[in-house]
């Protein structure tokens, strides 16, 4: 199982496996790949957020295959107590954490209603659902992706109309939801990123197109870049300087979906690896260091490898992170970047399981397979 993030010359390193015990002592200056393991009996786990102070949040299954929202701290895993679900139920995962260690997560409505997804907030060991709007009935569902340092969470609420509509929403300070604009002609949307200034980004969509957008302080939607009827784009994160990042496959001369940034109306492609036909940004440290996934032409189609790239005054081009297994035999993805440039995500073990993984000193571990393809024709 891979959890949905809603929505691939290597420096010397040590490989450390951590399964519910304190980390193995190692030189902090040595780049490492750290396997954070799973809940007892589990086989799958992933990381989706960090507080920049050693706390990582994500998901793990257990010995019964049930999904749990979890945190890791000092190498130890903890179940957050969010209502769990079986493998065929709603996805259960902790999606983000702020610098005050307030965590947002997704889970089932309850043990009795495992068919409906609900957004939650965890603080000081206590879990509560994020509020639903007045008039919502038991069949409405909610989704949360990010939380800022003021405690404002973002995501979506889906009603039970026929057809159902996914509404992009903000929960200011974790309180009552505020709906932001879903423009006419679109069937749904979600807010997927927020910075500490309150900038919002995400996606709106209909049956023909998905479109990356930002929402202004009044809640009005503004498209990021240009769109046509033969592609999609999605903004997953936004930096403190209001640069958004995500993915776009608008542009017919390109191989496929490309990791991009948007700034002041300009869309900038971050490129592809040689022969690869996709690259995505899922995470940022808030200051231009991005992580996600990318494909490589020499390996199987649709196989994901962990990608990092750094923009700004000290740029690093599209770069791969090593896995604990040989490339071509393993896969991985990155979903979080800390202030000290540790990357969190998942990678495949020798047993073929996907485990939550940390890459310390990530930009010292990065390598390029050949040379990065100069494939982007986007502006900027």
CA distances 230 to 251, 259, 376, Å, are 9, 17, 18
Instruction: Provide mean pLDDT across the span 333-347.
Output: 95
H/E element holding 121?
strand 117-123
Q: What is the structure's pLDDT at 323? A: 75
Give the closest residue to 148 by CA, choosing from 214, 244, 238.
238
What number of CA atoms fall less than 13 Å from residue 173's CA on the CB side?
A: 0
Cα gap 287→364, rounded to integer Å: 18
Q: What is the structure's pLDDT at 272? A: 85
Q: What is the structure's pLDDT at 305? A: 80
Torsion of CA 298, 300, 303, 304, to 10 degrees: 0
Cα gap 255→274, rounded to integer Å: 11
Give the closest residue to 8 by CA, choosing from 367, 295, 378, 231.
295
Instruction: Provide mean pLDDT across the span 303-329.
Output: 75
Residues in the chain, total: 380
Q: What is the structure's pLDDT at 41? A: 95
Among the residue ranges 12-16, 24-28, 323-327, 336-340, the one predicted with the least confidence is 12-16
Q: pLDDT tier at 228 (50, 70, 90 boundaries)?
A: low
Highest mean pLDDT of the ranges 167-171, 292-296, 323-327? 167-171
Instruction: Provide mean pLDDT across the span 68-81.
Output: 96
DSSP output for 78-102: EE--PPPB-TTS---EEEEE-TT--
How deeply is 92 buried, as exposed, middle or buried, from its count of CB atoms within 10 A (0-12, 13-18, 19+)?
A: buried
Among the residue ranges 142-156, 175-189, 254-268, 322-336, the one predicted with the least confidence is 322-336
Cα gap 375→11, rounded to integer Å: 27
pLDDT in tens, 303-314: 678 888 888 777
Residue 284 vs residue 3, higher pLDDT:
284
Q: pLDDT tier at 377 (50, 70, 90 boundaries)?
A: very low
Q: pLDDT tier at 324 (50, 70, 90 boundaries)?
A: low
Q: What is the structure's pLDDT at 366? A: 86
Cα 256 off chain centre by: 20
Average pLDDT value for the chain: 85
Is pLDDT above 70 for 327? Answer: no
What share of the chain has pLDDT > 70, as a percent?
83
Q: What is the structure's pLDDT at 250? A: 76
8 Å CB contact between 18 and 24: yes
Instruction: Please measure the distance between the N-terminal and C-terminal CA atoms of the chain and give it in whole angstroms.
Output: 37
Q: What is the structure's pLDDT at 35? A: 94
Is pLDDT above 70 for 376? Answer: no
Two tokens at 40?
Answer: 């007892």
CA distances 357 to 99, 282, 333, 335, 336, Å, are 21, 15, 9, 10, 10
Is pLDDT above 60 for 257? Answer: yes
Q: pLDDT tier at 331 (50, 70, 90 boundaries)?
A: confident
Among the residue ranges 121-135, 152-166, 253-267, 363-377, the one predicted with the least confidence is 363-377
Cα gap 253→376, rounded to integer Å: 9
Is pLDDT above 50 for 15? Answer: no
Q: What is the structure's pLDDT at 297? A: 66
Residue carrying the six token digits 């304190």:
22
Q: What is the structure's pLDDT at 80? A: 97
Q: What is the structure's pLDDT at 375? A: 45
Other C-beta atoms closer than 10 Å to the C-beta of 193 total: 24
Give every strand in the sheet of 332-337, ordered side by side.
14-17, 32-37, 354-359, 343-348, 332-337
Q: What is the structure's pLDDT at 2? A: 47
Cα gap 31→162, rounded to integer Å: 52
H/E element holding 365?
helix 362-365
Two tokens at 313?
Answer: 């005054």
Among the residue ranges 7-21, 127-141, 198-212, the one predicted with the least confidence is 7-21
8 Å CB contact between 362 and 321: yes
Cα gap 3→248, rounded to integer Å: 21
């Amino acid at each position: 199982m891979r959890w949905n993030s809603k929505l691939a010359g290597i420096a010397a390193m040590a490989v450390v496996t951590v399964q519910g015990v304190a980390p193995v002592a190692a030189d902090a200056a040595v780049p490492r790949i750290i396997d954070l393991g799973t809940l007892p009996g589990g086989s799958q786990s992933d990381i989706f957020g960090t507080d920049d102070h050693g706390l990582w949040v994500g998901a793990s299954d257990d010995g019964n295959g049930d999904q749990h929202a979890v945190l890791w701290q000092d190498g130890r895993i903890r179940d957050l107590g969010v209502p769990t679900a079986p493998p065929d139920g709603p996805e259960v995962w902790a999606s983000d954490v702020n610098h005050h260690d307030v965590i947002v997560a997704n889970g089932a409505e309850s043990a009795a209603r495992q068919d409906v997804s609900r957004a939650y907030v965890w603080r000081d060991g206590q879990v509560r659902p994020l509020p639903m709007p007045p008039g919502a009935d038991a069949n409405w569902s909610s989704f949360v992706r990010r939380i800022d340092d003021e405690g404002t969470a973002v995501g979506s609420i889906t009603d039970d109309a026929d057809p159902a509509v996914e509404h992009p929403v903000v929960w200011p300070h974790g309180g009552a939801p505020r709906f932001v604009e879903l423009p006419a002609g679109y069937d749904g949307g979600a807010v997927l990123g927020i910075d500490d200034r309150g900038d919002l980004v995400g996606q709106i969509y209909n049956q023909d197109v998905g479109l990356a957008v930002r929402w202004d302080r009044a809640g009005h939607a503004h498209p990021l870049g240009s769109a046509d009827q033969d592609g999609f784009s999605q903004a997953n994160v936004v930096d403190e300087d209001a640069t958004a990042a995500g993915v776009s496959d608008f542009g017919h001369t390109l191989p496929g979906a490309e990791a991009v940034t948007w700034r002041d109306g300009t869309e900038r492609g971050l490129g592809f690896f040689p022969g690869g036909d996709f690259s995505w940004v899922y995470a940022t440290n808030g200051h231009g260091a991005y992580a996600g996934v990318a494909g490589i032409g020499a390996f199987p189609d649709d196989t994901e490898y962990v990608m990092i790239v750094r923009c700004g005054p000290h740029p690093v081009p599209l770069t791969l992170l090593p896995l604990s297994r040989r490339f071509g035999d393993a896969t991985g993805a990155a979903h979080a970047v800390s202030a000290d440039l540790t990357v969190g995500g998942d990678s495949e073990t020798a047993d073929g399981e996907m485990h939550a993984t940390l890459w310390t000193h990530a930009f010292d571990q990065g390598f390029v397979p050949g040379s990065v393809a100069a494939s982007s024709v986007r502006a900027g």
